[in-house]
Structure 1
Amino acid sequence: MSRLAEKLADQIAAEAIRHVERTGDEDVISVLAQSMGDSSQTLQEAFITSVRVQRAAIRAQRLLARRVKEHSGGDAAG
């Protein structure tokens, strides 16, 4: 996969995820993927992968933040 496709896909995926988080418009991911696939299967695949990876990272970061908060309990010693 080309670096250009990955870079563009990462940027568009990040913007799309922000849009979904603000609006709840989950359909935008499918609409964008379909539109990309009409012109470039490479970009479409990179976008879908990037959405999955970025969403997984967001979920992991949120889970970690919750766990840290739950276990911190003001205990500075760890």
Structure 2
Amino acid sequence: MGVVEDLADKLAFDTIAAAKELGDDRLIDDVSKVLEATSSTTQEAFMTAIRVRLAEERGRKFLEDRLARGRAARDKG
């Protein structure tokens, strides 16, 4: 990745963690607006990283839940 993508990804990681800690989903939008006011390139990279990270998180949760159900069914039978 380039500098912009690396920095945006790190900020996305930290922002997602802070939003969870604070219970504030709007934090992501607020940070995005700050970035957009100064660098649309960074804002776009940030939002891409946010979407990718949240999608991966949802996909991983789905996979873990499916595995847990499958293992529970297997252990019952």
Same fold per TM (> 0.5)?
yes
* Superposed displacement of residue 20, structure 1: 1.6
**TM-score, normalised relative to structure 2:** 0.88
Q: Specify the alignment match of 2:43 in structure 1.
A: 44
Partner-residue secondary structure (3-state), 1:73: helix
Q: Specify the alignment match of 1:31 in structure 2.
A: 30
Moved more, 15-24 or 38-47: 15-24
- The one-letter code of the counterpart of 2:36 is G
- The one-letter code of the counterpart of 1:60 is G
* Superposed displacement of residue 39, structure 1: 1.0
The structure with the largest helix share of the pair is 2
Confirm whether residue 72 of structure 1 aligns to residue 71 of structure 2: yes
- Stretches of structure 1 lacking an aligned partner (at least 5 in a row): none
- The one-letter code of the counterpart of 1:43 is T
**TM-score, normalised relative to structure 1:** 0.87
Identity %: 29
Q: How many residues align?
A: 75
> RMSD value over aligned CA atoms?
1.6
Confirm whether residue 22 of structure 1 aligns to residue 13 of structure 2: no
Q: Work out the CA distance in 2 between the residues paired with 1:20 and 1:62.
A: 18
